[in-house]
A = this chain, B = another copy of it.
Amino acid sequence: MIAQHLSESTEMYLKAMAELSDHDNVVAIARLAERLSVTAVSANEMMRRLGEQGLVTHTPYKGVALTVKGREVACNVVRRQRLWECFLYDHLKIEWSQLYELACSLEHATAPEVTEALDLFLGHPKTCPRGNPIPDADGLFVPLSGIPLSEVEVGKTVRVLAVNATAKDVLKYLFERNLLPGHEVKVIEAAPLQGPLTLRLDGKNKDVALGLSLAEFVVVEENSNQ
């Protein structure tokens, strides 16, 4: 059970699986390939390799799932990622939209000693600047109990819990519109035919239009007022 060093590629596949997996923890290989900007053939090959290492299981035509061991690794990568996001944001004052990308490099170069010392230095933060929970050293964390902004009923006001996007341009776009953890959003209108939402941020009077696919990245509280 000694943790030999896994490649950056391996870690990224496992992390992507943790981020994309639904209720039953299954991910379609095509989704994975998409997320990692890799062909489906490459993702399939990689899943075979990870399968041989006991990190994933593949049920053909159904999808792949993390094993216990695989999930352990994935949670640890997520932990490193989000701790670095905290450090980069709170101490280095790095731009919010760049946090994911910059931390995504550091996460693979971070030894356990550094991870734990960083966690202590940061005061054991519970969430990263994008609002997502930080797994503890054992991989445990309280999952977000929210829903995507895209599923909120028109007229309701909700609070943003987290932003799940990873692409810099998407994060920049959301940041510029103040769609950040802690902010309040009222859904004024939902255009038909999968059209954009019209949102009111923090009770301001200037409204914001947001495409549905972008709204899927924004996780909000389920319990709303009004």
Chain A residues proximal to chain B, CB less than 8 Å? 88, 91-95, 98, 102, 105-106, 108-111, 113-114, 117-118, 120-121
A95 neighbours in B (Cβ, 8 Å): 113
List, sorted by A's number, 18 A–B pairs whose CB atoms are closer than 8 Å. Answer: A88-B114, A91-B121, A92-B114, A92-B117, A92-B120, A92-B121, A93-B117, A94-B113, A94-B114, A94-B117, A95-B113, A98-B113, A102-B111, A102-B113, A106-B106, A106-B110, A106-B114, A109-B109
Closest 10 CB pairs of A and B: A92-B117, A109-B109, A105-B109, A106-B109, A102-B111, A92-B121, A102-B114, A91-B121, A94-B117, A92-B118
Q: What CA separation (Å) do A111 and B105 show in the bound complex?
A: 8
Q: What CA separation (Å) do A113 and B98 show in the bound complex?
A: 10
Interface of A is mostly: helix
Q: What CA separation (Å) do A106 and B80 show in the bound complex?
A: 13
Chain B residue with Cβ nearest A115:
B92
